[in-house]
Every structure is written in C-alpha cells, then in structure tokens.
Amino acid sequence: MSSGLVWHCWRFHELSVDRLYDVLALRCQVFIVEQGPYQDLDGVDRHSAHLLGRDSHGDLLAYLRVVDPGIKYPEASIGRVITAPKVRGTGLGRLLIREGVRRCHLAWPGRGIRISAQSHLQPFYTEVGFVGQGEDYLEDGIPHREMLLAWPEGQS
C-alpha cells in the first residue's frame, strides 16, 4: 500500500490539541475498546516522538510513538503501534513500522531499537528484522515478548 499517506513526526510539546485528540481517540479505539481495559496514558508520551500517518482527507490512519533511549529501555523504543481498523490488512502497518525504524536510525544512528511486542505479532516484527529476547510475559493481560532490532554491522 503506497496510499499517498503523509507522515508527520512531532515531539509531545509540538502536538496541537487537535493532533493530540486524534492520537488519543485512535489509541482509545484500539487499546481500550478493542483490547479491553488498559492504562494507555503512562507518562511516557512526554519523552517520545509521535509519528502520525494521515490520508489525503486528513484522517489519521496510522500512529506509533518513538520513546527516547533511557526511558523504557537503554535503547530507543517503538510502541503504541496502531493502524485504524478500516485499513488493517492493507500493508500500512509494515509501512508504519518501517517509517518508525527509519526515524529511530536518523535520531540515534548506530543504536538498536527495543520493543515490547504482543506475542502473536512476533512474525510481523521479525519481517522488519526484530529478534525475540527472553520469554513471553504478561503485560496488561496480553502475552508480550521483548524484541531487539540491532544496528546492522558496518553502518553508522
């Protein structure tokens, strides 16, 4: 899916009220309504860049946050990865995660990226190059596993 999506990335303090509302509405739809009770607002948003993908009508279809190194893990972290229900299965999720990885590599060249992936999504993240670390664990009642994307040898 190339979709003509427009990517914007803002630090928390750069998000307008309208942008923040759109982000929280999509996160609520997925993490609270679809997946059950969940404490989405965790204080980490303030230490993150927020990647938004909008279509030509301005609808928010894809979102993730990139958490600064040292906040959740020693490495940068990608989380709150969401595509709107109406575009799931179109390949937009792969574009989103690749754009998030690209943004991490631009911001912190030579450093890895660590995620806490829902266990059933491990094959999706493996396609991008993430490797499972350790055992599965429960996070908010959903099985997860840490995964690491190491910076390729010889790149800086």
The full set of domain ranges for the chain reads: 6-149
CA 29 – CA 51 distance, rounded (Å): 17
Dihedral of alpha carbons 89, 21, 4, 108, sign? negative
Q: Are 144 and 122 in contact (CB under 8 A)?
A: no
* Domain 6-149 bears CATH identifier 3.10.580.10: no
Supply the pLDDT for residue 152: 63
Reported pTM: 0.83
Average pLDDT over residues 80-96: 92
- Summarised one tens digit per residue, pLDDT across range 18-75 is 888 888 887 887 776 676 666 666 778 889 999 999 999 999 999 999 999 999 999 9
Q: How many helices (H) and strands (E) does the chain have?
A: 3, 7
Helix (H) or strand (E) holding 50, with range, is strand 48-54
